[in-house]
Structure 1
Amino acid sequence: MERETHILLFAYPVQGHINPMLQFSKRLASKGLRVTFVTTISIGNSMQALPSHSINVEIISDGSEEAKDAESIDASLERYKLHVSQSLSKLIEKHYSSSYPPKILVYDSIMPWALEIARKIGIDGVPFFTQSCVVNAINYHANHGAIQMPVEEGASISLPSIPSLGFDDLTSFLCDKGMYPAWLELALNQFSNFQEANLLLCNTFNELENEVVNWMTSQQWPVKTIGPAIPSIYLDKRLEDDKEYGVHLFKPDVDACMKWLDTKESDSVVYTSFGSLASLGEEQMDELTRGLKNSNCYFLWVVRETEQKKLPPNLLQETSEKGLVVSWCPQLEVLAHKAIGCFMTHCGWNSTLEALSLGVPMVAMPIWTDQPTNAKFIVDVWKVGVRIKLDERGIATKEEIELCIKEVIEGERGKEMKMNSVRWKELAKEAVDEGGSSDKNIEEFVAKLVNS
């Protein structure tokens, strides 16, 4: 059957935003839609072919070829918006006059201006939120003046449908406006025109964020949860050959990681990774090294090449029996391995969803953006982890790191966290499986498109 209903999807060009939207694209293609995934030059070269999922990939200019070396964040965002507005507009027009004009553009919520571009040409637009519904709700309240910014240390915030949040549980942008003004603006601007959209797509699942999803619905937000947007092999196994996301901004050392893990016993390894963007200071790297070493557990630690110069000089020799340090790894494969006992994580939303979906308890060490809020929920709401307490210098000490690892791997509370993790894993699988909450939402979205 010819795929007649055409949809365009456009993600913001960083790994944590591309991965979930690419997974959603595969789900749509599996339901019979003609799917075009749009990305920019700066990312296009990292994309792998996606033939088995019938997804067409289009690459547009984001002006990165003209970027200056010492470009500020503000200049970079301005350049991006200017170039993408033009190149995205041309791309939609090209497809609009083809045999299969697109009906809709699904765009990353941090680019609200994409809605206007789509509607000018005559198609509808739908924002795709890559953070949790709780974080979206907090940003919405901040945008509407319900949170006094910057939030002062010691303050606590009460918002509808969300547990009371302390200073350390809030998005870093809300606590220090001066530090990342451009990022704060991006986070809040998602809500500048969202009420003009007929639908809001969120990478989460109803059961995980039930209260806040119900609150959004009560406010007449047309919200649909479609996650967890991770490869099907780890959840419902309904998408053939869907074993990985399909984009690598860093080259993973697959063989070294998996062969090493195969030699370890069940639940004996601490997997440590702080994502594709976070950067730790030398002092913190030193404490982390000693904490991992003193825990006496095996550890697999991802340290990006740009960060490796911060490692203590003799680390590799001193820990060769207990630890493996790699520059990047296939995170889903690692988390799914029986040897992993816990995940020490920065609590980025994708990493959080992956750990929940694979039943792995966490040691939370949030660094910035939405990570402190995710950590709060990991510990106090979903009860699948512990959070590292920082000292007065803002450092996670070796003693604290060792203590937290041992609590998850060996402690009584660790057993409870493991049981809760397995329960969330089952609920995540049910959500995307046939008839589950996220699957129904995707089916409804597709049916509306096909019949409109």
Structure 2
Amino acid sequence: MIHVLLVTFPAQGHINPSLQFAKRLSKLGVKVTFLTSLSAIRRMSTTSSTVDALINFVSFTDGYDNGWSTDEAQNFMSALRNHGSKAVEDAIRAKREEGHPFTRVIYTLLVPWAGQVASHLQIPYFDAARSDEVIKLPGLPVFEPGDLPSFLFPSNTNIYDFALPTLSEDFEVLDRENSPIVLVNTFQALEPGPLSVIDKYKLMAIGPLIPSAFLDGKDPSDTSFGGDLIQKSVDYVQWLDSKEKSSTTNAKLIQDYWRTGVNVRKSEDGGLVKADEIERCLEIVMDGGERGEEMRREARKWRDLAKEAAKEGGTSYVNLKTFADQVLGADTTRY
């Protein structure tokens, strides 16, 4: 049986789609060992009836089993690398000694060391400004600095300071390989440009990675995303309130590219979003006027296209099946 090791960064936006990915592989007859830190496993639905028997959960302690605070980010990333690298190596060696070695190692962003360990042990692996400036990226609309995530700016030091060096390392690991495969949580119709312009990587859209009950409806009982890693504390809410509004790339794409929402505008005196601006946006969305109707129409279109991509014969379904058949060596003809 094909058996993959799936190494996941212990954060909400990585854990949930990774678990959906593991479920889809298991439905194609692929056995998955899901490896992440103990702090994440504790908050995941690993015993849910929707979790396939072919998925095995393995955890390791990163020294922050009860989570980590914002001022511990750098130390946490260092500890995660040290403990995580050993956990990956131990898992690979243990399966070899059992006579059932992993076929492949698959890992998410922010854990490039998983690929490095896999390479060292000879296991194939895959990786899953100024205000007047504009940013041009292949296959995407033109961005202004305010459209980018706030942690990209040197002036904005916060808990995500570790992200840029780690993301850079992700690409360094990929660049050592010849046409590496990167699995992307999107679907072809949603982002055809970005998926086609990068020749050096083989991008395979396999999304959206959400429970079946909300997508193809094949398994109505599959409603669990996997876990809630966010502890709803007063400190967290205060931190969230301190973040700049309208500072993410998603806002730009949602308003101007997919046209399913409206972006709030910051005031010029301090960069805050005022009540009347929130009211303006709500009126546009809820009023039933021409713009609001367009957004609802576009939302229905993207919903239908997402379902189309995920169903049998759809682009994401075909990509995942191709990955399982041709890359992992699975026989999915029975599924």
- TM category, shorter: 0.7 to 0.9
| C-alpha contact 1:67 1:76 (8 A) present in aligned 2 | no
| C-alpha contact 2:39 2:67 (8 A) present in aligned 1 | no
1:38-84 Cα offsets, whole Å, 9 max, x none, are 12111121122145422111111222259997853222211211111
> Aligned to 1:7, which of 4, 19, 34?
4
Distance 1:309 1:19 in 2: 21
Partner of 2:101 in structure 1? 101
Partner of 1:284 in structure 2? none
| C-alpha contact 1:407 1:414 (8 A) present in aligned 2 | yes
> Aligned to 1:403, which of 273, 280, 286?
280
**Residues 223-238 of structure 1 correspond to what in structure 2 (within 5 A)?**
223-238=203-218
Letter in 1 for 2:307: K
Distance 1:411 1:399 in 2: 19
Distance 2:70 2:150 in 1: 24
> Aligned to 2:131, which of 153, 156, 164?
153
Q: What's the offset of the Cα at 1:395?
A: 1.2
Cα distance change, pair 120–188 in 1 and its aligned pair in 2 (3 A): closer
Cα distance change, pair 305–104 in 1 and its aligned pair in 2 (3 A): same
Cα distance change, pair 71–308 in 1 and its aligned pair in 2 (3 A): closer
**Residues 165-314 of structure 1 correspond to what in structure 2 (within 5 A)?**
165-176=143-154, 179-180=157-158, 181-195=161-175, 196=177, 198-216=180-198, 219-239=199-219, 241-249=221-229, 304-306=232-234
Partner of 1:111 in structure 2? 111
Task: Give the secondary structure class of the aligned counterpart of 2:58.
Answer: strand
Distance 1:19 1:167 in 2: 29
Q: Which has the higher strand share?
A: 1
**Residues 305-324 of structure 1 correspond to what in structure 2 (within 5 A)?**
305-306=233-234
Letter in 1 for 2:261: G
| C-alpha contact 1:365 1:387 (8 A) present in aligned 2 | no
Distance 1:62 1:34 in 2: 25
Cα distance change, pair 66–15 in 1 and its aligned pair in 2 (3 A): closer
Task: Give the secondary structure class of the aligned counterpart of 2:127.
Answer: strand
The structure whose RCO (Cα within 8 Å, separation 6+) is larger is 2
Cα distance change, pair 15–68 in 1 and its aligned pair in 2 (3 A): closer
Q: Is 2:261 the partner of 1:385?
A: yes
Letter in 1 for 2:125: G
| C-alpha contact 1:228 1:432 (8 A) present in aligned 2 | yes
> Aligned to 1:450, which of 310, 329, 335?
329
Cα distance change, pair 19–68 in 1 and its aligned pair in 2 (3 A): closer
Task: Give the secondary structure class of the aligned counterpart of 2:57.
Answer: strand
Partner of 1:428 in structure 2? 306
> Aligned to 2:24, which of 24, 27, 42?
27
Distance 1:409 1:416 in 2: 11
Q: Which residues of structure 1 form unaligned runs of 5+?
A: 129-150, 251-275, 277-303, 311-344, 347-363
Cα distance change, pair 428–446 in 1 and its aligned pair in 2 (3 A): same
Q: What's the offset of the Cα at 1:248?
A: 2.4
The alignment's TM-score, normalised by the length of structure 2, stands at 0.87
Cα distance change, pair 178–424 in 1 and its aligned pair in 2 (3 A): closer
Distance 2:249 2:76 in 1: 27
| C-alpha contact 1:236 1:432 (8 A) present in aligned 2 | yes
Aligned residues: 318
Q: Is 2:322 the partner of 1:394?
A: no
Q: Is 2:84 the partner of 1:84?
A: yes
Q: Which residues of structure 2 form unaligned runs of 5+?
A: none
Distance 1:172 1:68 in 2: 21
Distance 2:306 2:8 in 1: 23
Q: What's the offset of the Cα at 1:170?
A: 1.8
Q: What's the offset of the Cα at 1:308?
A: 9.0
Distance 1:378 1:96 in 2: 46
